[in-house]
Structure 1
């Protein structure tokens, strides 16, 4: 007769995918109930630690790398590709934004420099610490990227989680201070972009995952190229440079390059790159649309609105195109990974 505790354990184990539960459920239930008296099992329930352990196992088995059904292998590979692309984009954007800020402030006279420094002082010690953290912590995105490509997973995970923290401040700050947030939809979209990047890295690169993916070519050169494209988009077209312009432009250029490279490959082992880029494009499109939404009813230059609308259209077309490529690559005759995530170039 099934006890209440056993039924509760089986309910928790439903978090696991079917293929894993069919193979291991009975063994796991037996281990959980091994040294428990049957008379007390109706008054017990799984501990919080056991539930958390099963939840973590559910993530690892759903983002599998080997020995799992093909859909789970593909999902795990796609999440790892997404993490690589997204963290690279976040890293380039964070570095370029701060380099351009420092360059502008230090080359346009004492007034601009004082204005830059005033953002970190003059508001009390707590706001100053917050502003410094908001400015400094995103510089951990490149640390996370290079730690990831060198398979330093724990360092990469800690770095990206800390780097994503400042994205919450535009939403949490007004709640703590009682002020009205300036652009809540944009702040929410930007926070979603940052945390999706960080959590994908943490979830996809679990302890059972294969060695971290590496970009095609030297990671340093790829990062430098992204910085050049991101910086050039702001320097050459300063009238377009809102917070969404540079990362979206870098994504567009990088994705077009990836598509050209991908179509010339006979090997489709990197098939999961297309769905990963499509997901990243959707997030950037959400950021782009949210930025446009904040301009409703606000007098802004026509060039800025036109450029943002054009960028939104290009992002939409790229996402649709990447969806078509992903469907072709991951179809029954596609060349996606079946048993192991062996991709070394994206």
Structure 2
């Protein structure tokens, strides 16, 4: 076996074992044929020192995503995981869209343009951008809203491109501010940005073989979510200073825990196979939320209320674990009961 073939077979390990068992030799043969230049010396050199091209690796990664996160025609387990990732992505995107939409109201409140609410506390000042470029830069975060709408409407690549606009500015801003010492070094912004990057990558689960997103319920979820979460939350925070201790990771823990409790209540009256994708999706969100909460704990050491904040964070972690562990156990048991059917997806074409 040549070095080139070894490297290519290593990349093919991304594919499911059943698929590789059926198609691997044919895929490798087609790839090696495509690398034949017609010149014996050049071909020998490529065979010893060549590597699969980026486009070839990308096609294998894309195929692996389609097979492991399958659509309606995929094996039951692949379909369950595919639906779980898609549901978790939609819920996370919905949370972003809800919060950035509600933040418009918060900005209006801080600027004193909502007379129905009491004036904001002095420690919550509104700092206007210094110029138009800062304004455009700050507005980049609102891109999560059109990204969510594009994903629901079936435009996955558009959603990814728009979401990228929401991620890049905070990355640059955080890096510059921490490098210049304008803000202290902290883990929290990087942990949340890393989750956003994973969210961007997770949109790949909405491939052409995936079932379409039900538009009506996910579009209605946006105004309902705004009315149920951020509007009352910010209203209460405006009048109850103690609740300002609930940061974004804490709010995420509370939201995911509430969603899991509701799901477990509804799950009792429904067939496990119908609720399995939701169970897996909420389990994925619980793991992500716990990772985010844990990664942001060291930043409390530099705050005056670190003891109180650490105690609140501990309660949040315990709440997520108390509900998430039983849900994960039920989801894994239900997943194991599904038949493991070898995939029979068509062989991918190798670029020439």
How far 1:38 moved relative to its partner?
7.2
Matched, 1:236 2:236: yes
Question: 1:230·1:246 contact (CA, 8 Å) conserved in 2?
Answer: no
How far 1:83 moved relative to its partner?
0.8
Look up the match of 2:20: 21
Structure 1 residue aligned with 2:107, among 92, 101, 112?
101
How far 1:152 moved relative to its partner?
2.3
How far 1:165 moved relative to its partner?
2.9
State the SS of the aligned residue for 1:239. helix
Where does 1:60-139 land on structure 2 (aligned, <5 Å)? 60-65=66-71, 68-107=74-113, 116-118=126-128, 120-121=129-130, 129=133, 132-133=136-137, 135-139=138-142
2:173 and 2:289 mapped to 1: Cα distance?
18
Question: 2:144·2:162 contact (CA, 8 Å) conserved in 1?
Answer: yes
How far 1:6 moved relative to its partner?
4.0
Structure 2, gaps ≥5 residues long: 344-352
How far 1:189 moved relative to its partner?
1.9
Deviations 1:224-271 (A, max 9, x none): 232223222332245323333444333333333333333332363231
Look up the match of 1:342: none
Where does 1:110-189 land on structure 2 (aligned, <5 Å)? 116-118=126-128, 120-121=129-130, 129=133, 132-133=136-137, 135-169=138-172, 171-174=174-177, 177-179=179-181, 181-189=183-191
Matched, 1:51 2:70: no
Question: 2:75·2:340 contact (CA, 8 Å) conserved in 1?
Answer: no
2:201 and 2:304 mapped to 1: Cα distance?
37
How far 1:76 moved relative to its partner?
2.0
Q: Which moved more, 1:271-280 or 1:313-322?
A: 313-322
How far 1:284 moved relative to its partner?
2.0
How far 1:336 moved relative to its partner?
11
Structure 1, gaps ≥5 residues long: 340-346
Q: Which moved more, 1:191-200 or 1:161-170?
A: 161-170
Q: Which moved more, 1:78-87 or 1:161-170?
A: 161-170
How far 1:170 moved relative to its partner?
5.4
Sort the Cα spacing of 1:152 and 1:208 in 2 relative to 1 into closer, same or farther, 3 A.
Answer: same
Question: 2:15·2:64 contact (CA, 8 Å) conserved in 1?
Answer: yes
Question: 2:152·2:219 contact (CA, 8 Å) conserved in 1?
Answer: no
2:249 and 2:301 mapped to 1: Cα distance?
16
Where does 1:282-321 land on structure 2 (aligned, <5 Å)? 282-296=287-301, 298-300=303-305, 306-321=311-326
2:276 and 2:331 mapped to 1: Cα distance?
7
2:175 and 2:161 mapped to 1: Cα distance?
21
Question: 2:97·2:148 contact (CA, 8 Å) conserved in 1?
Answer: yes
Q: Which moved more, 1:47-56 or 1:30-39?
A: 30-39
2:264 and 2:342 mapped to 1: Cα distance?
22
Structure 2 residue aligned with 1:190, among 160, 171, 192?
192
2:112 and 2:73 mapped to 1: Cα distance?
56
Q: Which moved more, 1:230-239 or 1:294-303?
A: 294-303
Structure with more contact order per residue of length (Cα contacts < 8 Å, sep ≥ 6): 2
Question: 1:149·1:219 contact (CA, 8 Å) conserved in 2?
Answer: yes
Q: Structure 1 length as normaliser, TM-score?
A: 0.78
Q: Which moved more, 1:189-198 or 1:297-306?
A: 297-306
Sort the Cα spacing of 1:89 and 1:117 in 2 relative to 1 into closer, same or farther, 3 A.
Answer: same
Deviations 1:70-92 (A, max 9, x none): 44333222211211111111221
Sort the Cα spacing of 1:197 and 1:7 in 2 relative to 1 into closer, same or farther, 3 A.
Answer: closer
1:269 and 1:23 mapped to 2: Cα distance?
30
